[in-house]
Amino acid sequence: MNSSFNKLLTFKTLITASMIIVFSINFLFIGRVDALSDSRQLVLDAWTLVNEGFYDPEKFDEIQWKRIRQKTLQKQIETSEEAYSAIEDMLRPLDDPYTRVLRPKDYELLKSSNFGSEINGVGLQLGEDDDKKVKVISTLGGSPAEEAGIVSGDFIETVDGISSEKLGLAGTASKLRGESGTKVLVELSSESGAIREVDLERRSVDLRPVRTKRLRDDFHTIGYLRITQFSESVPKKVEEALQELKEKEVEGLILDLRNNSGGLVSSGIAVADSLLSEKPVVETKDRNGIKDAIISQKKTSFDGPMVTLVNKGTASASEILAGSLQDNERSILMGEKTYGKGLIQSLKSLGEDSGIAITVASYLTPKGNNIQGQGMTPDKLLDLPDTSDYGSTDDKWVRNAELLLGSLLEKEEVSIQTTELNNEEIKS
């Protein structure tokens, strides 16, 4: 009896002691979490945001995402810079160059390009190819990069002597940015393998995202609308531009999306809404596999014939717009194959002055085409050298678009005349 009682007492004592130890460890853990430094909290916040939003959660199991968090928080992280470096290391296994931490300078610059009309830097829009090489998507009009002859398809080899492979996509972009008046030495290689160096002086570049003009010949009046990027102000500016062109009685429209590397997806969709009537614009697919189709409104701002110009610098939000116009047979696409970025990022605040971009969804064109890594093929391919002055009298791409649009308008006139003739025959 005493022996059984003693055993029970000993067992209870062990259980109680174990509970005390467990609770003590839990309290210690809670205390450690509560006592996380601001720098470590930055890392934990970044991990949480990606964990909750990243479009491909299956990737987490593949790379042991929770273990990565644990190992990252064990590092020495005492400063903000150490936190940013730790986040970059933590994100690398995701193998997604578009999910990236944005240091204060980069975060402010990205917000400025999305919501403002000016940007400081050299005017390069960058991406990665299948081999993870940093590639030029496009150059901004009037930028130092454009003036230096850098073109879509060039590869960034080094920036100020540091290889782009070491810097990564985000690091390369960050290294190219800086105060106006400062210089940066860039080594580039072309698609043919030729290597050259250019010394670029950073400066403020006027983005002027929407530009228009009227093109006239002996037979037709055509509107020309160029969109260089999709910032917050673009949909309203496009509405105003289309209204202005309608007042000038244009018969058709050339939409120029060459070297438009994207921007705010919502702005690209809003522009499509101005040109389509109750048609599917895009289909997005989130992390749960749920597809969400976006349909345009009934009212349009312009319903005349269109030709849309695209090239290998046409990417992301501009591909959404071009894809919606092509799949709905609203516009003929002319030019060359587009870049092929079918992923959508969400920009989140991280701390007081930094941020993180997270790929949250993929998209398909209205006919279900996934353009990620593939791009879109135009209806009419152009094998012509591109111009440095888009929309000018020397722009052969625009001239070809004019000729095609002119033929479409003439067919339309013949169709109208035939209809009128048939009506006259019926009356007689």
Which pLDDT value is given to residue 34?
Answer: 42
**Is the pTM of the predicted complex or chain greater than 0.75?**
yes
pLDDT of 263: 87
Instruction: List, in order, residues 6 or more apart from 406 with CB less than 8 Å away.
Output: 217, 219, 220, 222
Per-residue confidence (pLDDT) for residue 120, from 0 to 100: 59
Average pLDDT of span 209-224: 90
CB 265 within 8 A of CB 320: yes
Query: Which of 105 and 194 is assigned the larger pLDDT?
Result: 194
Which pLDDT belongs to residue 261?
A: 87
What is the overall mean pLDDT for the chain?
84
Amino acid at 423: N
The pLDDT of residue 18: 36
Catalytic hit among 154, 273, 327, 395: 327
Q: Of residues 279, 341, 354, 395, which has the active-site annotation?
A: 341
Residue 196 pLDDT exceeds 70 = yes
Contacts of 26 (CB under 8 A, 6+ apart): none
- Would residue 327 show up in a list of annotated catalytic residues for this protein? yes
Spatial separation of the C-alpha atoms in residues 207 and 120, rounded to whole Å: 10
Is 367 one of the annotated active-site residues of the chain? no
Confidence of residue 105 (pLDDT cuts 50, 70, 90): confident
Whether 131 is a known active-site residue: answer no
Q: Return the C-alpha torsion angle 266, 270, 271, 275, nearest 10.
A: 140
- Give the closest residue to 208 by CA, choosing from 183, 238, 186, 249: 238
Q: How far is CA 37 from CA 34, 40, 70, 266, 290, in A?
A: 9, 5, 15, 36, 38
Average pLDDT score over residue span 104-115: 75
pLDDT at 327 (0 to 100): 97
Q: Domains in the chain, ordered, with CATH?
A: 2-100 (3.30.750.44), 119-205 (2.30.42.10), 210-411 (3.90.226.10)
* Span 268-275, average pLDDT: 96
* 181 close to 146: Cβ distance less than 8 angstroms: no
**Per-residue pLDDT, 385:** 82
Comparing 242-246, 311-315, 374-378, 421-425, the range with the smallest average pLDDT is 421-425
Residues 6+ positions from 100 with CB-CB distance below 8 Å: 88, 91, 169, 170, 356, 357
Q: What is the pLDDT of residue 16?
A: 39
DSSP string covering 178-214, please?
A: --TT-EEEEEEE-TT--EEEEEEE-EEEE---EEEEE
Stated as kind and residue range, the H or E segment containing 157 is strand 155-159
Query: What is the percent of the chain with per-residue pLDDT over 70, rounded to a whole number?
Result: 85
pLDDT tens by residue, 1-43: 444 434 434 434 433 333 333 333 333 333 344 446 889 999 9
Residue that the structure tokens 């995202």 belong to: 209
Task: Spell out the residues 6+ positions from residue 403 whose beta carbon is closer than 8 angstroms to its own.
Answer: none
Rounded Cα distance, 383 and 386, in Å: 9
